Amino acid sequence: MFTGSLVALVTPFDNGQVDFETLRELVNFQIEGGTDGIVPVGTTGESPTLSHDEHKQVVKVVVEEVAGRIPVIAGAGSNSTQEALDFTRYAKEVGADGTLQVVPYYNKPTQEGLYEHFATLANEVDLPIVLYNIPGRCVINMDPATIIRLSELENIVAIKEATGKLDQASEIAINCGLTILSGDDSLTLPLASIGGKGVISVVANIIPNDVKALTDSILEGDFSSARQWHNKLFKLSNALLSMSTNPIPIKAAMAIMKLCPEEIRLPLVPLDNDKKVQLEQILADYGLLRSVS
């Protein structure tokens, strides 16, 4: 149901408030760039520091601006099942096409607890779910056996795989029919080698056309072309996830390219100046800047 290049959209801020005008501009920038789907209020969208009202308003504005042109998969996850249910019901109410549901963080549920959490969401709200497994942020890993069990539920259709473990992704691919989406831009092609069908991308915030070209090549089975795109994208993609905590580098890059303000919410802080100089050079090397000041 959800394949190709899906962007993990940033949430722009201006003087402490969500910048909804810029948010609408970013949505259209993505659609014009060929993006296959938009994922607001995920990790890259700074969901942990949005108020519940802001979270819902961002989803509503993105759905309104997209106006049915491409799917919207609304971030709706939480470490509270009742809170996730509230966000999920709201996403359905305003017309989102699906939700992204992260593994509950901090409270460290058991595998049975994880199953019951996601099963509750799937059974209570008739809306497709993309599971999101990212142990580096959530402390725990959702085991393949739990994922395979969840895949039997009708509304659970895909997984954003961000464990960095091809063995785990292979076990999922072999044993169930979930669509596997990369959660790391640099691993989109490696995951495709075992059956991945696309990416929920950070770097697509600035180069939607190129990420689309990569995933189109993958979906067409043209792995020679896909490898060329992977090689071109690798240094930039890797920098955006290694220079500092996401979404600090991508917001810095977008500010450099005048796509949105760099403003980010505490406890995250802007990219330091030395790294910003390095990032400008990487953007220039990629061809996104005419020169480095």
pLDDT in tens, 162-192: 999 999 999 999 999 999 999 999 999 999 9
| CA neighbor of 55 nearest in space, from 67, 63, 66, 47 | 47
160 is catalytic: yes
pLDDT given for residue 1 in this prediction: 80
CA quadruple 58, 133, 269, 37: dihedral sign: negative
> What are the residue ranges in the chain where pLDDT is below 50?
none
Please state, in angstroms and as integers, the Cα–Cα distance from residue 223 to each residue in 173, 186, 188, 189, following that order.
19, 15, 12, 8
User: Containing H/E element for 89?
Assistant: helix 81-94
- Among 56, 60, 115, 132, which one carries the catalytic annotation? 132
Q: Which residues pair with 13 in a beta bridge?
A: 18
115 is catalytic: no
Peptide bond into 104 cis (omega under 30): no
Tokens of 183: 């959660």
Tell me if residue 265 falls in helix, strand or coil.
coil
Tokens of 51: 């108020």
pLDDT given for residue 108 in this prediction: 95
Dihedral of the CA atoms 34, 49, 89, 133 (nearest 10)? Answer: 70
**Backbone conformation region of residue 31, classed left if phi is above 0, alpha if psi is from -120 to 50, else beta:** alpha
pLDDT given for residue 291 in this prediction: 54
Task: Give domain limits for the chain.
Answer: 4-220
Q: Are 96 and 73 in contact (CB under 8 A)?
A: yes
pLDDT given for residue 81 in this prediction: 98
Secondary-structure class of domain 4-220 per CATH: alpha beta
Backbone angles phi, psi at 78, to 5 degrees: -165, 165
Tell me if residue 272 falls in helix, strand or coil.
coil
User: Containing H/E element for 98?
Assistant: strand 98-102
- Among 60, 160, 197, 276, which one carries the catalytic annotation? 160
